[in-house]
Structure 1
Amino acid sequence: MRAQIKFEVRSKALLPYNYQHALTALIYRGLGVESAKLATFLHDIGFRREKKTFKFFTFSPLSFANYKTTKEGIIVFPGTASFTVSSPLPEFTDYLASGLWAKRSFKIFALPVIISEIIPLPLRRFTEEEIFTLKSPLVLAVKSQEKTTPIYLTYLEDKALYREKLLNNLKNKYLVYYGREPRIDYFDFAFDEKHFQNKLPTRLITYKDQKIRGLCAPFKIKANPELISLGYYAGFGEKNSMGFGFVE
């Protein structure tokens, strides 16, 4: 399920570029109003398989009607703003919408916003081949033996490894969500490499104290439609609850 959250911005404010963790916090606050149990479970525990944990939600970047970018951040002027929240959990967007409506007024860093509208978006049906555009970076990483920080994959260096890591991520999500192994008759994934010609479409985002690098470009995926649907609603790749891997 997806829902578009619309705000009214009543006063001018400076928003840092790395605002993602504030949106994650807003989502948890909204959930907590209607279902403290679900909010606490997702925040503290999540759905687990071995050492992997999934929260099964993601969200888009903010969109502003009236803004200006500067070296210091985004200057947001009075007007409207919105973002979209996505989750395969059937109760997630209902609880979130009810909780946000109950409070209505929030702050995203120094930016005061008032909920003006919450629009449930229609469910999508998927075929065995889909083309998506990433609205937030797709993150895949491998552990480093020399460093404590992970190595973020960049696709062109090893396309086979990138596909393998993405497929394993989707398989693990599917197994945790449905409680059974997915049917994998075929799988293929490719970025539109026209977007790689001048420079890599990478983005570096600081989430609290983590520096996370991902890729943001259109891609084509061929897979079991159930796998594609789970990626669409839960997010593709890693760190989805931090706002990564959101596609349209």
Structure 2
Amino acid sequence: MRLKVSFQAMESTIPLNYNYFLSSFIYKRLASQNENFARFLHEKGYGKRFKFFTFSQLFFENSRVSGEKILIFPGKGWWYISSPVIEFVRYMFSSLSEDPVIRVEKTEFIVKSIDIENSLPDQSEYHFVMLSPLVVSVPEENNGKLYHRYLHPEEEEFYEVFRKNLVKKYRAFYGKEPEGTVEVIPDWDYIKSRQRITKRIKLKNAFVRAVVFPFKIRGEKKLVEIGYEAGFGEKNSMGFGMVALKKYER
């Protein structure tokens, strides 16, 4: 399930790298409804520490980037939150209904409406656009230190790691192996028409490299659904890997 949160923005500024603030905001809102659930999600998670939620970037009717800040002007805004865990969605809906404010650092946005969006339709193939950047990486060791090598869709390894991550999420959520697999087809026309599809995003004191590009995916629907609702790739609970159907309109 996913929520579409429509809000009103006034003239203000927020940090360019605001993912951490939104993730913290979500945990605080969950704790206001069920402190034990919020603590479990933050400290343990499901399976291999999957949190099973994701969220989009903040979308503004009128804004621009200036250095390390986003300048926001009066207008409408949208934010999307998604999870396959019903309790999560219910708690977030209740919390935002009771206290209709989104807080990013010292800036507040007034929530005007919260809509529950439908699940994926039955299709043989889905064409997705990204509502937040996608992170796919592999751990590697260099001089005794472990680091992450971030992958690009032009690398074949990207798709294998993408699929394995999806299977791990499915296994952790359902407690069994998926019946099939998926095939991911990137929008090469989009990728070739852009000078760069990578984004360098700061999380606390570290940087991650993410990518933004449309793609098609076909195969086992339950696998697609877990990615659609919990996020594709890594770091979903920090606001990465959220997608929408291509015909999607804000």
> What's the TM-score once normalised by structure 1's chain length?
0.91
Residue of structure 2 in register with 1:2 after alignment:
2
* Separation (CA, whole Å) in 1 of partners of 2:18 and 2:214: 23
* Counterpart residue number, 1:231: 227
2:152 to 154, 170, 186: 154
Question: Quick one: distance in 1 between partners of 2:98 and 2:32?
Answer: 8
SS of alignment partner, residue 227 of structure 2: helix
Local SS of the residue matching 2:133: coil
Matched letter for residue 189 of structure 1: V
Aligned 8 A contact 1:195 1:201 in 2? no
The equivalent residue for 2:92 is 96
Where does the alignment leave 5 or more consecutive residues of structure 1 unmatched?
none
Matches within 5 A, 1:1-248: 1-9=1-9, 11-48=10-47, 52-146=48-142, 147-156=145-154, 158-159=155-156, 161-184=157-180, 186-197=181-192, 198-248=194-244
CA RMSD of aligned residues (A): 1.6
**What is the percent sequence identity of the aligned residues?**
35
Q: How big is the shift at 1:103?
A: 2.5
1 CA distance for matches of 2:96 and 2:134?
27
**Unaligned 5+ residue runs, structure 2?**
245-250
Greater mean alpha carbon deviation, residues 216-225 or residues 113-122:
113-122
What secondary structure is seen at the aligned counterpart in 2 of 1:83? Answer: strand
Q: What is the CA–CA distance in structure 2 between the aligned matches of 1:102 and 1:75, rounded to whole Å?
A: 28
Whether the 8 Å contact between 2:182 and 2:223 is mirrored in structure 1 is no
The 8 Å contact of residues 22 and 108 in structure 1, kept in 2 or not, is answered as yes
Match of 2:248 in 1: none
Structure 1 runs (4+) greater than 4 angstroms displaced: none
Q: Report the Cα offset of residue 106 of structure 1.
A: 4.4
Whether the aligned pair in 1 keeps the contact of 2:4 and 2:114 (CA below 8 Å) is: yes
User: Do the aligned partners of 1:31 and 1:38 also contact (CA within 8 Å) in 2?
Assistant: yes
Deviation at 1:60, TM superposition (A): 0.8
Q: Which residue identity lines up with residue 152 of structure 1 in the other structure? A: Y
Q: 1:25, CA displacement in angstroms?
A: 1.3
